[in-house]
Amino acid sequence: MSENIDLMMPIKATPYDHQKKAFAFACDKFGVFDDCMTSRGVALLMEMGTGKTIVSIAVAGCMYQFGLVNRVLVVAPLSILGVWQEEFEKFAAFPYSLTILKGTSAAKKEQLTKLTDKGLQVVVVNYESAWRLEKELLAFDANLVIADEAHKLKENRTAQSKGMHHLGDKARYKLLLTGTVITNRELDVFSQYRFLNPQIFGTSFYSFRNRYFDMSGYGNHTPVFRLWMTDEFLGKLHSVAYRVTKAECLDLPAVTEEVRTVDLEKDALKLYGDIEDESYAELGKSEVTTANILTRLLRLSQITGGHLTDDNGTVNAVSRAKLEALSDIIDSAMAEDKKLVIMARFVPELDDIQELLEKKKIGYAVVRGGVRDRDGEIHRFQYDDKCRVFVGQIAAAGLGITLTAASTMVFYSLDYSMANFEQAKARIHRAGQKENCHYLYLICRGTIDRKVLYALRKKLNLAKMLVDDYRRGINPFDSGTSPDGG
């Protein structure tokens, strides 16, 4: 069967070897091919950039084709809901209908009453909404529940975790997706496995704690893992888990890229549209030069990053969409115990990112305009375990910097310079890097972000491309005219 496993994966792509093995592992545990189920739940412990979403789609599609599931519930962080829609559209080679629950609680409940029954029914919802809609989601009666970025379930007693436990108890099959179930401590495993398969570690948190931990410290309130229980603990944990690390993925290309689409808030999107219309109208009143067009483009790029400078030079915050998406990415990287590089263009964006890291109490280094001890910041990121994130201003952090302590780089925003873009990317992809590199681009839907990224990746002259658009009678700021859509 293993030789033909990729033929059984109903996806519109050629899977990598590690993805085939993860798929086969899940299908084997679920008894898809031999009707011999050994676990109701499977954990895909796949690091960022190794393709856990595509494996999950393949598993769900295969189980649908074998008549084992017809309703799937995907629960994920808010910023990742759109990723599921895009990945299904791109990869699913089987009939399905997908609904992302949006809007007010009442609107989400209404959506659940109007689902189409075409193919595999897939409902996607964020964690915060899932427990609030527990009654309605239990009535949806999903055969398969997928918990994406499941480190969100590590706290056993939260309403969010309890809601997922209840949903998991009713579903016949469960998939748990995360880079690692052990975030900072072994205690975090219980809640995630309580959802996944209660037979592994039981349903009582206190029984679990009493078996694997000693209580110490003042008042005996600090659980300390019993090291002599390690073999049993890991044996149980990995009995239903398939582990994939980037370092072990010899079949992955040296560089992988992912576009994370972000939806601007309603007010920010309206503001963006108004500025876009105004910018296009202004072009008609002046000579169309590259400087002219890039000046107007700059304002639109500022909005997608969350800010807009008014005529008085005051910077106003207009959106937090990208920041919230970045927050989820940071959480995932920290859960995987991975260092992360974040690149941004504008000063207010860098301020926001640093403030976010300080709120999360995550150690970071920064190289931006005004930072004097660049070498000290770089050395700290490379060699200090407590320094988990590097924040760089694209124009300032592009040259002469080695950041190989990380293998994932997030572009919060984009510089228009091809040279700056390539130099920034090369900070992690260089001599000394032991892992495959993964680049994440935060792109606001329906905005100029997509067009800028297209030009940079295709090595096109952005300014010339926009001027040419205008001279052909096309609004150069309209992302819908981008060659790869918006």
d(CA 195, CA 153) in angstroms, rounded, equals: 9
Closest to 2 in 3D by CA, of 21, 18, 19, 16: 21
Note the pLDDT of residue 110: 95
The residue ranking higher by pLDDT, 335 or 411, is 411
Architecture of domain 255-262+320-462: 3-Layer(aba) Sandwich (3.40)
Q: Residue 101: its pLDDT value, please?
A: 96
Residue 134 burial by Cβ neighbours in a 10 Å radius (0-12, 13-18, 19+): middle
231 has a pLDDT exceeding 90: yes
Please give the model's pTM, rounded to 2 decimal places: 0.86
For residue 188, the Cα-to-chain-centroid distance in whole angstroms is: 20
pLDDT classification of 183: cutoffs 50, 70, 90: low
Average pLDDT, the chain: 91
Q: What does the pLDDT average to over 325-352?
A: 95
pLDDT at 218: 79
Q: How far apart are CA 214 and CA 186, in angstroms?
A: 12
Q: Taking residues 76-92, report their average pLDDT.
A: 93
Give the pLDDT confidence score for residue 486 in this predicted structure: 43
Q: pLDDT class for 4, splitting at 50, 70, 90?
A: confident
Query: What is the per-residue pLDDT for 6?
Result: 67
Q: What is the pLDDT of residues 280-289, one digit of tens each?
A: 888 888 788 8
pLDDT above 90 as % of the chain: 68
Percent of the chain at pLDDT > 70 equals 97
Mean per-residue pLDDT, 284-305 = 88
Band of pLDDT at residue 480, cut at 50, 70 and 90: low
Report CA-CA distances (Å) from 421 to 94, 395, 452. 38, 9, 11
Q: pLDDT grade, residue 483 (50/70/90)? A: low
> Angle 92-176-387 (CA atoms, 0-180°, nearest 5)?
110
Checking if the pLDDT of 174 tops 50, the result is yes
CATH superfamily of 2-248: Tandem AAA-ATPase domain (3.40.50.10810)
C-alpha to C-alpha distance for 341 and 365, rounded to whole angstroms: 10
Average pLDDT over residues 351-365: 97
The Cα–Cα gap between 46 and 55 comes to 10
pLDDT of res. 319: 96
At a CB cut-off of 8 Å and minimum separation 6, what does 419 contact?
Answer: 398
Tokens of 277: 């219309």
Q: For residue 372, what pLDDT band results from cuts at 50, 70 and 90? A: confident
- pLDDT band for position 90 (cuts 50, 70, 90): very high
Separation between Cα atoms, residue 147 and residue 239, nearest integer Å: 18
Which range in 162-166, 224-228, 366-370 is most confidently predicted, on average pLDDT? 162-166
Does residue 330 have a pLDDT over 50?
Answer: yes
Q: Where in the chain is the domain with CATH 3.40.50.300?
A: 255-262+320-462
pLDDT of residue 1: 47
Give start-end residues of each CATH 3.40.50.10810 domain in the chain. Answer: 2-248
Distance (Å, rounded) from C-alpha 329 to C-alpha 196?
23
CA dihedral 72, 485, 251, 193 (to 10 degrees): -30
Residue with the bigger pLDDT between 201 and 396: it is 201
More confident residue, 482 or 374: 374
Residue of 465, 271, 441 lying closest to 342 (CA atoms) = 441
Regarding predicted confidence, which is higher, 68 or 433? 68
Geometric angle at alpha carbon 239, from 237 and 244, rounded to 5°: 75
Q: Residue 250 pLDDT > 80, yes or no?
A: no
Q: What is the pLDDT of residue 142?
A: 97
Q: What is the pLDDT at residue 354? A: 98
d(CA 367, CA 340): 14
pLDDT score of 485 more than 50: no
